[in-house]
């Protein structure tokens, strides 16, 4: 099985860290690991690059990582902190002269049509982002192919892009992705997807993890999980205690050895403080062979 490389593009919550108008010690920290963009990730595998979620910090994340090519964008769900930067794919349209392939559930596409109406329809606004949306309609593993074989975009002044079909490239690269069905609320009314790429599983915004999904994690080596607070449970995210419990179950049920905490709010403390807290948890596993580590922007997981 091919191995994946996952880069944490953003490890913060919907408001990011530092938060606007906050002068707490976390938001005021000089440690670069405490600067948390909205949660997102980049997967590189078999010569392809996939972005998971494109929130309001998408542009800054692409510039920081010096990304010049994307084969596809995977969306976990339709909240703006995960979709609010999709207009900025126009730069990739312009320089690569290709549609951007976006993969999501049907309800997420409907939300995009409402949020970005100018990107859909026959008579689009000139210069609107060029997307090709693929629907994930079940929980089966699916294949994302490189977009290098697609038609070229040709700019016509005053009109926008048209598509010029070409058969020059025959790039056979592809990546298999397994969707992981999780819930964004304790009542299981808000379904979202996490994703598995080879040995790495990316999960965020989880409030409930169904027992039926553990089998999809078997054989993986690393998993990310969201964690927004310490103490009483949050209605739509794991708190630290729930995230630790999830990590222990991931080891016991699926054999996973590493768990990375992401989607971190300023209430979680600084990276140094949170690292000290989970270090104590790492000592109390009663023989379970798993290590919990706080993620930070730019962290690479392999």
Average pLDDT over residues 228-234: 88
Examine the pLDDT at 212 and tell me if it is beyond 80: yes
Confidence grade of residue 1 (pLDDT, cut at 50, 70, 90): low
Mean pLDDT of the chain: 93
Mean pLDDT of 114-132: 89
pLDDT band for 188, please (50, 70, 90 cuts). Answer: very high
| Angstrom distance (rounded) from CA 52 to CA 196 | 11
Average pLDDT, stretch 20-27?
98
Does the structure show a pLDDT above 60 at 129? yes
> How many CB atoms are located within 10 Å of the residue 104 CB?
23
Checking if the pLDDT of 279 tops 90, the result is no
Q: Give the SS3 label for residue 89.
A: helix
Q: Which residues have CB under 8 Å from 282's CB, separation 6+? A: 291, 292
User: Residue 206 pLDDT more than 60?
Assistant: yes
Give the chain's length.
302
What pLDDT, on the 0 to 100 scale, is given for residue 283?
66
What does the pLDDT read at residue 239?
Answer: 95
| Confidence (pTM) | 0.95
Q: What is the pLDDT of residue 169?
A: 67
Question: Count of CB atoms within 10 A of residue 190's CB?
Answer: 18
Give φ, ψ of 161 to 5 degrees: -85, 145
Mean pLDDT of 18-39: 98
Output 111-115 pairs: Cβ under 8 A, ≥24 positions apart: 111/78, 111/83, 112/78, 112/83, 112/86, 115/80, 115/83
**233: confidence class by pLDDT, cuts 50, 70, 90:** confident
Does the pLDDT at position 124 exceed 90? no
At residue 168 the predicted structure's pLDDT band, cuts being 50, 70 and 90, is low
Residue 286 scores a pLDDT above 60: no
Q: Residues 6 or more apart from 51 whose CB is under 8 A from it? A: 9, 40, 41, 42, 43, 58, 70, 72, 73, 74
**Residue 156: pLDDT over 90:** no
**Confidence category of residue 62, pLDDT binned at 50, 70, 90:** very high
Q: Where residue 288 falls among pLDDT bands split at 50, 70, 90?
A: low
């Amino acid at each position: 099985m091919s191995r994946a490389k996952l880069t944490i593009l953003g490890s913060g919550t919907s408001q990011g860290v530092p938060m606007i108008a906050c002068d707490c010690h976390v938001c005021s920290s000089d440690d670069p690991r405490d600067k948390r963009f909205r949660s997102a990730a980049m997967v590189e595998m078999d010569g392809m690059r996939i972005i998971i979620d494109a929130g309001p910090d998408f542009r800054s994340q692409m510039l920081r990582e010096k990304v010049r090519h994307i084969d596809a964008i995977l969306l976990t769900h339709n909240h703006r902190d995960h979709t609010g930067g999709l207009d900025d794919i126009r730069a990739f349209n312009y320089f690569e002269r290709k549609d951007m392939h976006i993969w999501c559930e049907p309800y997420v596409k409907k939300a995009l049509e409402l949020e970005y109406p100018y990107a859909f329809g026959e008579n689009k606004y000139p210069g609107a982002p060029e997307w090709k949306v693929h629907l994930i309609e079940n929980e089966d593993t699916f294949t994302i192919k490189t977009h290098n074989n697609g038609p070229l975009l040709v700019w016509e002044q005053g009109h926008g892009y048209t598509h010029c079909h070409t058969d020059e490239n025959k790039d056979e690269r592809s990546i298999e992705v397994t969707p992981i069905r999780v819930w964004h609320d304790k009542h299981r009314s808000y379904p979202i997807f996490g994703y598995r790429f080879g040995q790495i599983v990316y999960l965020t915004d989880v409030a409930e993890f169904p027992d039926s999904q553990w089998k999809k994690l078997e054989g993986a080596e690393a998993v990310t999980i969201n964690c927004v607070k310490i103490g009483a449970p949050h209605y739509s995210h794991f708190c630290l205690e729930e995230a630790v419990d999830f990590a222990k179950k991931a080891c016991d049920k699926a054999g996973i050895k590493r768990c990375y905490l992401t989607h971190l709010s300023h209430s979680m403390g600084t990276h140094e403080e949170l690292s000290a807290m989970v270090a104590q948890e790492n000592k109390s596993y009663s023989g379970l062979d798993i290590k919990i580590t706080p993620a930070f922007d730019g962290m690479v997981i392999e």
